[in-house]
């Protein structure tokens, strides 16, 4: 199992994450002959800087502030489509929001644990889940092509915040 749960929920050197992610994004672009423009990089950066998913209009606000000029929705959606296409970010359908992908190079499940208290989202890559879903689809003669798996509940921190503090 591969997850960024700890990174999301615990303190760490986040600039390093971002730089590593950007480096990896640039090499992916080189590989695929895709252009990582200034706008696209900024949007990716903004998403990496937030461990919560950001909506298109939040991104619009933030990018607009960053560039000190108005930015239109289309600009955001174009950047986001580009990043989605490369697998550098994901769309969380239930939230109408986007989040950076912690392991863009790995085959993974698009499985997200979404904290309904604090809004944090961790991604989990789990081969067994993929395998099981594939088996289910095979049995049903359904040709599986992609998936969106969203789990809602409380992240470790919010779970422990609400729990009885007496330890057995």
Partner DNA sequence: ATATGATACGTTATAATATTACATTAATAA
Partner DNA sequence: TTATTAATGTAATATTATAACGTATCATAT
Residue ranges in contact with DNA by CB under 7 A: 34-35, 37-40, 55-57, 69-75, 77-79, 82, 96
Which string of x and - marks every residue 61-100 that binds its own copies (by CB under 8 A)?
--------------------------------xx------
30 binds, among its own copies, DNA, none (CB under 5 to 8 A by kind): none
Beta-sheet pairing, 89-92 with 97-100? antiparallel
Q: At closest approach, how far in Å is the CB of 163 from its own copies?
A: 9
CA angle in degrees (0–180, nearest 5) for 53-85-109: 65
| Token code pair at residue 135 | 């088996």
CA-based diameter of the chain, in Å?
A: 57
Q: What is the DSSP letter of 95?
A: G
Distance of CA 130 to the CA centre of its chain: 18
Task: Rule CB under 8 A: say whether 140 interacts with its own copies.
Answer: yes
Q: Please calculate the CA angle 78-31-19 and round it to the nearest 5 degrees.
A: 70
At its nearest, how many Å lie between DNA and the CB of residue 158? 21
Q: Which residues bind its own copies (CB under 8 A)?
A: 1, 3, 5, 93-94, 111, 113, 115-116, 122, 124, 126, 128-129, 132-133, 136-137, 139-156, 159-160
């Amino acid at each position: 199992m591969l997850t960024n749960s700890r990174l999301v929920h615990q303190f760490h050197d986040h600039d390093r994450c971002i730089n590593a992610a950007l480096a990896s994004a640039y090499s992916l672009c080189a590989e695929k002959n895709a252009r990582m423009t200034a706008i696209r990089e900024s949007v990716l950066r903004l998403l990496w800087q937030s461990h919560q998913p950001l909506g298109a209009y939040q991104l619009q606000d933030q990018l607009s502030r960053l560039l000190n000029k108005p930015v239109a929705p289309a600009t955001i959606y174009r950047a986001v489509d580009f990043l989605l296409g490369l697998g550098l970010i994901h769309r969380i359908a239930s939230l109408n929001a986007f989040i950076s992908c912690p392991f863009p190079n790995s085959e993974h499940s698009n499985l997200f644990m979404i904290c309904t208290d604090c809004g944090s989202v961790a991604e989990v890559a789990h081969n067994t889940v993929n395998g099981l879903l594939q088996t289910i689809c095979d049995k049903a003669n359904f040709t599986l092509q992609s998936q969106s798996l969203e789990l809602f509940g409380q992240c470790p921190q919010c779970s422990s915040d609400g729990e009885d503090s007496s330890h057995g």
